[in-house]
Amino acid sequence: MNSLYGKDLITTQDWSVEELEKTLDLSFEFKANRYDHPLNNCLDRRTFFMFFYNPSVRTRQSFEAAATELGGHAQFLEPKSMRLKSAKTAGETVQDAAEVMSRYAVGIGIRILETALETYGQGDELLREYAQYATIPIVSMAHDRFHPCQGLADVMGYRMHAGKNLKGKKLVQVWAKGALVRSWSSVQESILLNSRLGMDVTLAHPKGYELDPEVIKWCEENAQRSDSTFEIVHDLEEAYKDADIVYSRNWMTSNFYDYVAKDNVDGAKSKEIQLASKYDDWICNKEWMSMTNNALFTHCGPVDRNAEVTDEVCDGPRSIVYDVAENRLHVQKAIMALTMGKQ
């Protein structure tokens, strides 16, 4: 019996470790047997709706390819071209939209990040409201709090290159300067999932770049349950020392929405870029990597080259950036097959 059938995926924290392992096992199967897996027609003549409040580089491509390779179809939808009720416009409520779309499709993916929101947590609330009324699975394609598909793709990459047993391996989730003003979603999913699966997780950032306190609390509890460690440091030398995997990425300050309220989104982005530019040392380069345990380098993409990481590291022999990007396809096939594929 497939316990995941019909289940929402808003964050990996909502799934059991057994369910996550089942998903990862199937992801590896899909990778090994991409075009001839027994489940390759499990979405035959079925439709997956994709709501894009924010654009993406690889999310649409990977979900459309995943649905196609499972024999189904992923339909691209932009809420701005639909009659959906919002704070400023009349239209269909979430309840009505969810009820109706549940009659048309087998699943709904939603991507909604900070630039489409007024306050932190609104995206998570929207996904959970859709989940409340839909009778089909709701899948986060990245929202303001979490990015479960990316988190699972990361883990798959680590296991490809460092082995399935990552117990005691040190993952450094390190803030980096950059001009893309990034969401917390991938970073928070990463520290949640890996602290849960038994890695020793170090979160490193300058003061002022603190993440969601509830997520930090969950990481501490995850580490305690998995007999691993979770720590926060503000010193780069301490962060990189003896690391096995380095994930260097920019993310916005906790004041981002205050800046939006004051100066709109463009003004907030300018402020964030100005603040980040002060931290010249916070770039992953060969000098920092030389302090590690010959660490793998990873990034969820798109990479802000020579800001978050130097080309030398990103294109080097220990980089797994492209493998992780590919893994989005295999992971999403597994999620779709398990939660919405024909039984």
Query: Is 150-325 a domain of CATH 3.40.50.1370?
Result: yes
pLDDT for 88 beyond 70: no
Looking at residue 72, what is its pLDDT? 98
Show Cβ contacts of residue 196 under 8 Å, excluding neighbours closer than 6 positions: 12, 13, 17, 20, 222, 225, 226
Residue 91: the pLDDT is 76
- CATH superfamily entry for domain 12-146+326-340: Aspartate/ornithine carbamoyltransferase (3.40.50.1370)
31-79 tens-digit pLDDT: 999 999 999 999 999 999 999 999 998 999 999 999 999 999 999 999 8
pLDDT of amino acid 151:
98
DSSP 145: S
Is it the case that residue 21 has pLDDT exceeding 80? yes
DSSP calls for 287-320:
HHHTTSSS-EEE--SS--BTTTB-HHHHTSTTB-
- E strand or H helix that includes residue 258: helix 256-276
CA 213 distance to own-chain centroid = 18
For 71-85, b where at least 16 C-beta lie within 10 A, e where not — what string?
bbebeebebeeeebe
Domains 12-146+326-340 and 150-325 alike in fold? yes
To the nearest whole percent, how much of the chain has pLDDT over 90? 91
In tens, the pLDDT along 268-295 reads: 999 999 999 999 999 999 999 999 999 9
For residue range 112-150, what is the model confidence (pLDDT) as tens digits?
Answer: 999 899 999 999 999 999 999 999 999 999 999 999 999
pTM given for the model: 0.97
And the tokens for 290?
């030389």
Domain boundaries, the chain: 12-146+326-340, 150-325
